[in-house]
Amino acid sequence: MQLPESWLRTFCNPALDTQGLADALTMGGLEVEDVRPAAPPFEGVVVGAIVGARPHPDAQKLRLCEVDVGSGQPLTIVCGAANARIGLRVPCALPGAVLPAGADGQPVRIGITTLRGVESQGMLCSARELGLSDDHAGLLELDAAALPGTSLRQWLQLDDTVLTLKLTPNLAHALSVYGVARELSALTGAPLRQPEHPPVAAAHADRLPVQILAPDLCGRFSGRIVRGVDPSARTPDWMLRRLERCGQRSVNALVDISNYVMFEFGRPSHIFDLDRIRGGLQVRWARDGETLQLLVIGHCGNRRIAQTLARHGQQQADIAPAQLHHTEQRCQVAAVLDAVLLFTGGAALARRTGADGIGRAFVHAVEQRGKQIQLLGIGVLGLVVLARDRPEIMPGHLLRLLLQAAEFLRGFQIHGCLPARDEGRRPERPRCADRDTSARPDVPE
């Protein structure tokens, strides 16, 4: 369970600092295994409003942006982002600003520079340049209500802390911010803010029939038809921040609201498209011979990898069944799902497009998610399984790369055939007596 300290304190705010709060939870049985800042340190970055944008006279892909930073005199900043447009609120690094460390490990210092003969008085930033996420597709777009000149750290509440709790199966009530707050209140005696949910009267008489054919699975099913929904509406910044600090990517406003309620109160829900429902809903066990498609490439949380796989394969790929075995190490559910998506989507593409398709797709996807070592490890492991079981679809150089990467994985098993490393001696080559491996590549020592 991962949650931001600021959200937790909206329900229960004991007179403890961050470490004291974490210690109280741990001593109460909710072990806090990680405490980290919500954002890396940086300074000199404010909210900027783009009030003018015109093409660079000597560069086709660059634009000259006039940016209001609350000083009364707009700054001229050269920018190459595709989404730079008039009216947009974006992070603006002023001259003298210090951004998080770059590829060389040193902080990035912003000054006044000249780009293609035009002076640039600062820098407009993406989320990745500020260390907030891996998104580098364009400038980080802020809410239109953001006041130019406001400190970005203040506007986005970046001086926050993210707590990661290691919960045992009997603590399911703590799989929500409110559930953790109840425990914290009981442990510290601090008052618990009780949420209020006033009833909302129905605005129409429309109903959707629901049949519960398996009462052993579902004792009660409730829902409501909501009309006049704008599916293109933008999720508010404050909600995005809380979801991201719980480890949840934004999908769209409707899905984000559903996920927000789940994280806040531990109540999962699902938003259906009423136009796609025929005759009503049934809650029942599956029937013999039925199949269920759980994930579809392009319609899941990890859209970036999905789009990468689809783009390199020139078509959408159906998710194929896959199994992931791991021992001893604990993995976040989101990382496991991402990894399953990564290597099962790649497997489907491999079957359809051959070795070149899977090679390009995998390498590009890993480049995009390279900072998440745990995800990369599981994804590589999954592709090693695929390479071992289906060597005919894997190019030789990629197979060697995967096997070399797998050598650094510890505590995982490939169908029981990859032992943990022993630092004191060279391990023997693993044996698999329960199947014929003569036609498959050896698992690395």
What's the chain's length in residues?
A: 445
Domain locations in the chain? 2-38+160-188, 43-155, 210-224+235-283, 293-445
- Edge to edge, the sheet with strand 2-4 lists 2-4, 161-166, 31-37
Give the pLDDT band of residue 408 (cuts 50, 70, 90).
very low
pLDDT number for residue 302: 42
Confidence of residue 231 (pLDDT cuts 50, 70, 90): confident
**Where residue 60 falls among pLDDT bands split at 50, 70, 90?**
confident
**Separation of CA 136 from chain center:** 14
Q: Which CATH number fits domain 2-38+160-188: 3.40.50.300, 3.30.56.10, 3.30.2130.10, 1.10.10.10?
A: 3.30.56.10
Tell me the DSSP string of 377-396: HHHHHHHHHHHHH-GGGS-H
pLDDT at 382: 55
Q: Confidence class of residue 410 from pLDDT cuts 50, 70 and 90?
A: very low
Residue 300 in this model has a pLDDT that exceeds 50: no
Residue found by looking up tokens 């604990």 in the block: 330
Among residues of the chain, what percentage have pLDDT more than 70? 66
Reduced to 3 states (helix: H, G, I; strand: E, B; else coil), residue 47 is: strand
Read off the pLDDT of residues 359-384 as tens digits, 9 standing for 90 and up.
Answer: 454 444 444 444 344 445 545 555 55
Say whether pLDDT at 335 is over 70: no
DSSP 132: S
Identical topology for domains 2-38+160-188 and 43-155: no
User: What is residue 292's predicted lDDT score, i.e. its pLDDT?
Assistant: 77
pLDDT of residue 132: 86
Long-range contacts of 359-364 (CB under 8 A, 24+ apart): 359/395, 359/397, 359/398, 360/312, 361/308, 361/309, 361/312, 361/313, 362/398, 363/398, 364/308, 364/312
Q: How far are the Cα atoms of 68, 98, 237 from residue 148, in angstroms, in the given order?
A: 6, 19, 16
Class of domain 43-155: mainly beta
Residue 48 has pLDDT above 50, yes or no: yes
Adjacent-strand bridge partners of 35: 163
Q: Which of 131-140, 162-171, 360-369, 384-393 is least confident?
A: 360-369
Q: CA nearest 242: which of 335, 178, 305?
A: 178
CA gap 339, 351 in Å, rounded: 18
Average pLDDT over residues 151-166: 93
Distance CA 349, CA 307 (A): 12
Cα separation, 439 vs 347, in Å, equals 19
Amino acid identity, position 90? V
Q: Evaluate the CA torsion angle 442, 327, 362, 346 in order and state its sign.
A: positive
Please tell me the predicted confidence (pLDDT) of residue 133.
80
| Angle subtended at Cα 372 by Cα 265 and Cα 19, rounded to the nearest 5 degrees | 55
* Cα–Cα distances in angstroms (integers) from residue 360 to residues 308, 310, 363, 395, 442, in the given order: 9, 11, 5, 11, 24
